[in-house]
Structure 1
């Protein structure tokens, strides 16, 4: 096999037919909607994978994916999605969680929370921080954190973050989250890590989940999907929520006609399932 030279690699382009194959693979396997306007970004990101895999060109690379190279499929989905997040992102959701949702659940047992599309873990760790403040050391409060990308899950489960990469609404939020340390590496408190079960899950494939949830977070994930896939996702979440359960979505996402899936808006990008 002849590898691309650096100059050839930088000039390597993707044919219309090859781009459509990428669009098809991304859609059928992960639900990603790759419009023509995203083509330059797709080409730029996958060029790196062409070179990293030693593929001759994009056609060779796409064949590798089509033949079921599992490891490269993981890199493929990671390359095409952006894992931009931070602790307590969209703070109004966490304020609502602390002031309204969790107090309602204090008398409940076996509280279940799902962070779907958890990325590198900032979201579920932020949820755990609020949960611990409300529920203390109760062992029946559990958080499921899922993502399709195994690389970000490994990072998230480790619970270590470089101090230069994290930002907080306040110093108190930082103290609640991390063990005391003078190191440049911040370690999430063990009590918070123990509340979370990190698992790999593809949201457009059948969900191997048997329980229903009190709260579901799925923020800035549906933006990668087309409208039909989004509608199926919202309906799926509603079916997995308890009566009166809450769903939080991203700031640029909306549920059209939430009443059709037994949901009602209760705040900014916040919804509640109808009480039975």
Structure 2
């Protein structure tokens, strides 16, 4: 009977790690430093086991073959982390509610479009938090041309985000008033977004380091805790592309450990430690 166990860590060679590094860079722009060798083993070994491959070498041969095209996505998913929560880095949502939406709402009511982009939406807590902030500051947003684009490279988490269902522990960070206003409980104790708010977000699979089939510009873009996976050149290229998709005066929100090093060159002005505004 074929041994379905993956290679032990001692059989996980530096050559295997270098192949994973190359795949991650070419497929998703992910930079894996040498310090991540053990982390890669712990994550990829699960896929080796689930695929029934006898070794990392055999698994990587399969992934890079024409027959392994679908598994390539699973490998990339395994290498990325989807850690998120509702209203994470609350100052961004406070700024959206108090500065961005009050300025934008009268213009949208007058006939212009309003767009916000959650560029790495993971399992959906970020775009649904954006939607709650929008509906709080602009209650009739769904009656006008206002939408939230929510994208992620991982098709599995995009499907979960689209469902908009979360367990009781996950929704603890949502204020009680908003939870009762925008969600409905289910018999099993979970909560699901319901009512008009569901018309705001549109969920799509998108690789930020590939082409973007996106029309128009955004008043605000959330791209948080994403560039930590990229090398400097990939990071700066992404910042520039995001800045190019902001309308004049639009805002870019980044993660608490991130900085837009090319802010001036990208036409951005830092207005707070993790908030940038597109210069007019």
Range of TM-score over shorter length: over 0.9
Corresponding position of 2:115:
112
The structure 1 residue matched to 2:253, chosen from 248, 251, 256, is 248
The unaligned stretches of length 5 or more in structure 2 are none
CA distance in 2, matches of 1:241, 1:258: 13
Q: Deviations over 1:138-188 (max 9, x none)?
A: 331100000000000111001111112333153234334412556411001
Match of 1:85, SS state, is coil
Cα shift at 1:267? 1.4
Match of 1:211, SS state, is coil
* RMSD of aligned alpha carbons: 1.7
Q: How many residues align?
A: 273
Corresponding position of 2:89:
90
Q: Residue 12 of structure 1 contacts residue 47 of structure 1 at CA under 8 Å; is this kept in 2?
A: no
Q: Deviations over 1:111-134 (max 9, x none)?
A: 011100100000000001111122
Q: Residue 113 of structure 2 contacts residue 145 of structure 2 at CA under 8 Å; is this kept in 1?
A: yes
Q: Normalising by structure 2, report the TM-score.
A: 0.92
Corresponding position of 1:72:
71
Bigger CA drift: 169-178 or 211-220?
169-178
Matched, 1:209 2:211: no
Q: Normalising by structure 1, report the TM-score.
A: 0.94
The structure 2 residue matched to 1:269, chosen from 270, 274, 278, is 274
Corresponding position of 1:187:
192
Corresponding position of 2:61:
63
Matched, 1:125 2:124: no
Corresponding position of 1:151:
156
